[in-house]
Amino acid sequence: MIPSSPLAAAPLSTLVAQADAGDARARDLLFATLYDELHRLAQREVRRQGAVSPLSATTLLHEVYLAFGAREVGDFPDEARFLAYAAKAMRGVLIDRVRANHAAKRGSGVRGTTLDTGHAQQVSDPDELIAIHNALEQLEQVDPTLARVVDLRFFCGFTFAEIAAVQRVAERTVQRQWDKARLYLRQALDDGAA
């Protein structure tokens, strides 16, 4: 448990700014403050991954915390960017574990993608999950905002309304971004399978 301090009473934006400036105590308090939300995201992701996920929600969250702690340069001007980073870190940890567990297995042929318009679907094929991750890395180079929407929607299971609240935009804007990202990813996945 983190002892009571002036940081404990600080607003979230102040904690984000102080953690961004390299304050280890602020970073720890920020993580503790957002722990319940991050644990909920990790639980959702582990449940969604089902048998593909080699991690428990708590293990996933703690590995994300370690990745967060190892980060040298900050870019968290607000809670939205912090949560986006956490979502991306969760995806990275899961992808790394799936790759390690299935390094010898490489499929061939064309596979469908589970990026549909509903809630995030369970990906049962580790190779498909890795292909989606690789396509998402390409998308991030082209349009980081679209990649962030996919991270939050597909990998963390956020609703359009939740993403809109985090990004402080209209829900319809998020829906358009999701549609655009799906088109890009579908094309990238089709090109990769050819």
Which pTM was predicted? 0.54
Instruction: Say how many CA atoms lie within 13 Å of 173 toward its Cβ.
Output: 10
List the helix and strand counts (H, then E) for the chain. 8, 0
Structure tokens at 36: 């319940």
User: Do residues 56 and 46 make contact, with C-beta atoms less than 8 angstroms apart?
Assistant: yes
* Domain parsing of the chain, residue ranges: 6-193
| pLDDT in 10s for each residue of the chain, 194 residues | 444 444 455 677 787 778 778 788 887 887 788 787 788 878 877 777 665 566 777 777 777 777 766 654 455 666 777 777 777 888 888 877 777 766 545 543 444 444 554 444 456 677 777 888 889 999 999 999 999 998 888 877 788 998 898 888 999 999 999 999 999 988 888 887 54
Residue 22 gets the label, from left (phi > 0), alpha (psi -120 to 50) or beta, of left
